Each structure stands twice: as structure tokens, then as C-alpha cells.
Structure 1
Amino acid sequence: MKAIVYERSGGSEVLSLVDRPVPEPGPGEVRVRVVVSGVNPTDWKSRSGAHGQSGAQVPNQDGAGVVDAAGPGVDPARVGERVWIWESAWQRADGTAQEYVVLPERQAVALPEHASFDLGASLGIPAMTAHRALTLAEDAPARLAPGALAGRTVLVAGGAGAVGNAAIQLARWAGATVLTTVSSPEKAKLAQAAGAHHVVDYRAQDAAAVIRELAPDGVDIVVEVAVTANVDLDLAVLADNGTVAFYADGSGAEVTLPVRPSMFRNLRWLGVLVYTIPDAAKVAAVAAIQDAVAAGSLRGGAEAGLPWHRFPLAQTAEAHDAVQGGAVGKVLIDI
């Protein structure tokens, strides 16, 4: 089978297209014929050495395909099942940038017939990150469902990104009032397509003033992509007992939090990295995502505010570079 492999850290030039034996599933595992692989920022960061991985590695955490073999202890009826894959390459040597991947069966989740493989490969890390961020607020549910966030106001920073898109859709499905910030009219259209109730262009508007006008009592949850850059904005718009769930460090490696306002207003500042969240939170996220996809409430593609950018397997390096370069939408690799 064809696979993309790197054996040392570095730029995308370390990625090579090679032939490998087709793997066999062990106990509790399935083999998936991968149709589409999804690329996330952690994929190129892991390859570059930012996460300290070493040894021969097939990149990419997310993907979608069809179960074509089941190991001992796995229901044989799963063979032929359409699935989406999550966390394939976390502390494992086998990501989804290959024709077949073997992984624990729980990491291959049933994908409804109406959901495309493109959507399946776009779920995984972005949607699980969004779910975790939306369930960290005071008295928040452990698992999202219709009505679970009713009466709450959510601010999604960067609503045109992959996590932002998933957060808008999941929050809307769960009954929240959803506001989002973007940096251009083009991105505003994407956030609107995702289902945000209100979109604020922070480069063209006084974001704090507009958000406070839209949410006079403040925002309950901020799903934050740039906590260093947005700390003042978050402070200005948070409700008392509000929560900022931040999941990226692209705006800087350090942030200074004001102690007294955070203490007096009982504000919560919580980091999110899907790979290291409690296992129960992963299980809850996968179940909620599965429900939202089945309901047609978690979608992908330009019509849902998440344009797809496609590359063939042999151009995985270019796909990684596109994500590193800030491609707006979801980068996919056709296997």
C-alpha cells in the first residue's frame, strides 16, 4: 500500500511517499481503508518536532473510510461500515496519510450514509476540541445535546476556522445564542453559513462595544483561538462566572491574566488540548458529534462555512504547508 512517512523532524520536505505492507488488525482493532485524510495544525507541528515525536511516523490524526477487516474481539459486522477516525497518530506510529490504517475500534466511529467522507475527515480533532471548550463552563453539561446550552451566550473567536466552525455549529445545535468574531467580510460569510446568530468583524468594528450591545449581560463561554491577543476583549465581554476555553497559542506563548478582575468576577481560564483531556470527555465528545452529524446539525463544505481544499496523497507536503500557511477551511487529502 501507499503511505506517507517521515523518519526525522523538520519541514514538509521530510515527508516521503513509500510502499508498505498492508497491516493486520490485532485484538480490539479494526483496519480501515482510508478514503480521505484530514490535516490539522498539530499534524505539521508534530512533524516539525514541536511535540517531540521520533521514529518512523505516518502523519495525520483524522480521516474517514470503510472498515475492511476486524481483529479478534471485534464484531465482524463492522466490516463494510463507513467510519470517521479520530486521534489516529497520537502516541502511535500510524496516522491516516496512508491507504490502510489499523487502530482501536472505538477510534473508528460509524458515519451515517448521508454524511460524506469529506465531512468525516473534517470532524475529529476540530469538533472534539470545540465540544470540550463548550462543556467547560460553570454547570455545563458533560455532553452536548439539543437544549443543553439553552439560555447561554457563546462567543467563538475566529469563527471561520475549523474549530470555530465546529464550535458555532455545536453550540447552535445545543441551543446557545452564538456570537463570533472574524477579521474580514469573506470570513464573516463563512461564519454566517456555519450558523452564527451574530458576526462581528473586529477589524472594522469596536468588537467589545458591539458584543456588549448584543449580549448586555455578558458572554457565558468564550471559545478562544488567540487568548494572548484577545485577553482584554474577553475581559470586557465576559459575564460574571464566565469561562474562556483556549485551544491555540498562535497569538503568543504567554498570556498575562489580571488577578483581581478574574477573582472578583469568578472568571475561569482553561486550556484545551484534545489529546490529553480525560478519557470520559473524549467519549462524551465522540457521542455528541455522532448525534449532531446524524441530525444533520454538523456539516462541512463551503455551504456550511468550511471550504474544503483537496490534495492527492503524493502532495501531503503541500497539504501540510497549506495548513501551516493558514488556509481558511479544511485541508483534505484524497487517498
Structure 2
Amino acid sequence: MRAIVFSDNGASDVLRLEERPIPEPGAGEVRVRIAVSAVNPTDWKNRAGGTGAPIRHEQGTDQDGAGVIDAVGPGVTDLAPGDRVWLFLTAYQQPGGTAQEYTVTSAERVAKLPDGVSFDIGASLGVPAMTAHRALTVHEGGPARLAPDALAGRTVLVAGGAGAVGHAAIQLAHWAGATVVTTVSSDAKAALATSAGADVVVNYRDDDAVARIRSAAPDGIDLVVEVSPAKNAELNAAVLANHGSIAVYANDGGDRMTLDVRRHFALNVRYQFLLLYTVGPEALAAAAADITAALADGALPVGEEAGLPITRFPLDQTAAAHDAVENGVVGKVLIDVAAV
């Protein structure tokens, strides 16, 4: 099989296309023929050495993808050859990845694709959608799971609504019944966030963001899905409701932030930091189940018309795909791996 591998950290040119034996699944594992792989920021950061993850003698790349199961190992009973699936965290603490024609992964990191859901949608889930799910389920008053009406009566602020996590957070919050406010930096990104389903879109560079958000949510924001806590700390403090929560999943804009302590304890604010790789199996399983339910309802489309433009590369240009994500391309970067 063709596989993208690397043996040393570095720039994207450490990635190389090699022929490798097709791997065999062990106990509790499945083998998936990959149709589409996806690149996330953590993929290029891991390759570059920025995550501190150890490199095996040879490591595959890319966490997320979609394809068809063609073999299962002993003990796997709820998945079978022929199942169309989406995958997540396939390169985390495993030697594989989705930038290869076949990958073997734990069955716990695979979920079925509902009928009619494309491989492009399946590959676009994983890290961003599961991160969004976690961010939307850490509020003090719940819910711990997402479903239609689970967030009814709540107002959610999604920082960076044109990003992959922001896009998924808008879609999942909308599906769960929340009123969704989002901040963006340009008119073009505003159009994408609107297409994703945001009820109110605020251009923080042109608008009085606090006034616009307060106008949309007079009683305050219940939950913030935050990509840039250092830059947005003052804004969040000005718009949060009593018992509001801020779910932080990234450190865009800096690793240090300053908080107005008095205002935060007066509002009983909860800050919840989260990293998908270490949230634990129960949170991952809940996210996979709820996201699959949202897929069945048609709630997570991709493409520019749905607010998430797709940029495509063939497998032999995986390095260029990594560079595109590192350079901040808007939308989702997908890699066409094999015809399935």
C-alpha cells in the first residue's frame, strides 16, 4: 500500500511517500481502506515536533479520515467488513494515521457513517467536531450530551466561527437548539459563519463587539467556545451571564491571559480547558455517538455553501496539504487517498 510516513521531526519535507505492507488488525482493532484523509493543525504541529509526542522508528500522519472497513480483529462485534466509517485520533499513540491506503486502529476510534453521508463529511469530523462537542458539554448546568433541544434556551458564543472547530460548534449548537452568536474578522468569514447556521455574526474588527453581542443576548452568554482566550478575556467577561462558562480549546493569540478576578467570581464564571487527546474514552465515545446522530439528521454538511470550504490534495502531495493548514487556509484540507 501507499503510505505517508516520517522518521524525524521537521518541516513538511520530512514526509515521504512509501510502499508498505498492508497491516493486519489485532484484538479490538479494525482495518479501514481510507478514501479521504483530513489535516488538522495538530497534525503538522506533531510532525514539526511542537506537541512533544515521541516519534516511533517510523510514524504515519493525520488523525482523521473516512473509508470502508475491510477486516476486523478478534473481539470486534459491532463493526464489520463493508461498513462505511469515520475515524478519529488514528495517529495518537498508534503508528498509523489516515494518510495511507489502509490503516489499522482501535475499534473505539471508529464510528459508522449514516447512509447518504459522504466520505468528505466523515473525514471533516474527528478532531474539530469532537472538540466542539466537548466544548458544548462542559457547562455547569449541562447538558453532558447533545441532541435536538439539549441546548434550547441557551445562548452560545463561538469565537472564530469560520474555523474548523468554530464551524462544527456552530452546527452542533444549532442542531441542539441553542441561539448561536459568533465572532469573525472579515465579511468573507461572516458569510461562511452565516452559512454554517449562526444566528448572529459579529465582525470584531468593524463592530462594537460587546454592544452587538449584548444586543443579541441581553441576559448574557451562557457558554463561550473559545479559540483565543488571551485576546478575548476582556470581551468574554463583558458579555457572560451569571454562571457562564468558557470552554478553551486553543491558545491562539498567546499562552498568558489576564483576568478581572472580581468580575469573574461575581458572575460565578467557569473556565474549562480541554484537549481532545486527553479527555478520556468516555468523553470520546459520547462525542462520537452524538456526532453520528447529528450526521443522521443532516446537521453537519461541509463545503463552501455550508460554511466550510474544502481544499483538496492527492496523497502524494500530503506535504503541501500540511503547508496549507500551517499557513492558515480557511476551511478544511482533505487528501484523496484511494477510490473506495
State if a TM-score over 0.5 links the two structures: yes
* Alignment-derived partner of residue 178 in structure 1: 180
Letter in 1 for 2:261: V
Letter in 1 for 2:159: A
1:296-326 per-position Cα deviation (integer Å, ceiling 9, x unaligned)? 0111111210111000111111101111111
**What's the secondary structure of 1:24's corresponding residue?**
coil
Give the deviation of 1:75 after TM superposition. Answer: 3.4
Q: Distance in 1 between matches of 2:17 and 2:252?
A: 30
Give the deviation of 1:290 after TM superposition. Answer: 0.4
Q: Distance in 1 between matches of 2:78 and 2:279?
A: 31
* Alignment-derived partner of residue 126 in structure 1: 128
Q: Which runs of 5+ in 2 are unaligned?
A: none
How many aligned positions are there?
335
2:100 is equivalent to residue 98 of structure 1 = yes
* Alignment-derived partner of residue 11 in structure 2: 11
Q: Over aligned residue pairs, what C-alpha RMSD do you find?
A: 1.0
Q: Distance in 2 between matches of 1:5 and 1:77?
A: 27
Q: Distance in 2 between matches of 1:170 and 1:76?
A: 26
User: Aligned runs of 1:105-116 on 2, under 5 Å?
Assistant: 105-116=107-118
* Alignment-derived partner of residue 283 in structure 1: 285
**What's the secondary structure of 1:180's corresponding residue?**
strand
Range with greater deviation from structure 2 (249-258 or 113-122): 249-258
Q: Distance in 2 between matches of 1:281 and 1:28?
A: 19
Give the deviation of 1:275 after TM superposition. Answer: 0.7
Q: Distance in 2 between matches of 1:236 and 1:59?
A: 41
* Alignment-derived partner of residue 158 in structure 2: 156
Give the deviation of 1:265 after TM superposition. Answer: 1.1
Q: Identity, % of aligned pairs?
A: 60
Give the deviation of 1:161 after TM superposition. Answer: 0.5
* Alignment-derived partner of residue 304 in structure 2: 302
Give the deviation of 1:329 after TM superposition. Answer: 0.4
Contact persistence 1:225–1:248 (CA under 8 A): yes
1:184-227 per-position Cα deviation (integer Å, ceiling 9, x unaligned)? 11111100110001111111101111101111110000001111
2:51 is equivalent to residue 51 of structure 1 = yes
Distance 1:106 1:77, change over 3 A: closer
Give the deviation of 1:76 after TM superposition. Answer: 8.7
**What's the secondary structure of 1:78's corresponding residue?**
coil
* Alignment-derived partner of residue 317 in structure 2: 315
Q: Which runs of 5+ in 1 are unaligned?
A: none
1:141-176 per-position Cα deviation (integer Å, ceiling 9, x unaligned)? 111011110100000001010000000000001110
Letter in 2 for 1:90: Y
Give the deviation of 1:282 after TM superposition. Answer: 1.1
Give the deviation of 1:77 after TM superposition. Answer: 6.4
* Alignment-derived partner of residue 221 in structure 1: 223
Give the deviation of 1:257 after TM superposition. Answer: 2.0
Range with greater deviation from structure 2 (106-115 or 212-221): 106-115
Q: TM-score, normalised by structure 1?
A: 0.98
2:281 is equivalent to residue 270 of structure 1 = no
Q: Distance in 2 between matches of 1:77 and 1:211?
A: 45
* Alignment-derived partner of residue 87 in structure 2: 85
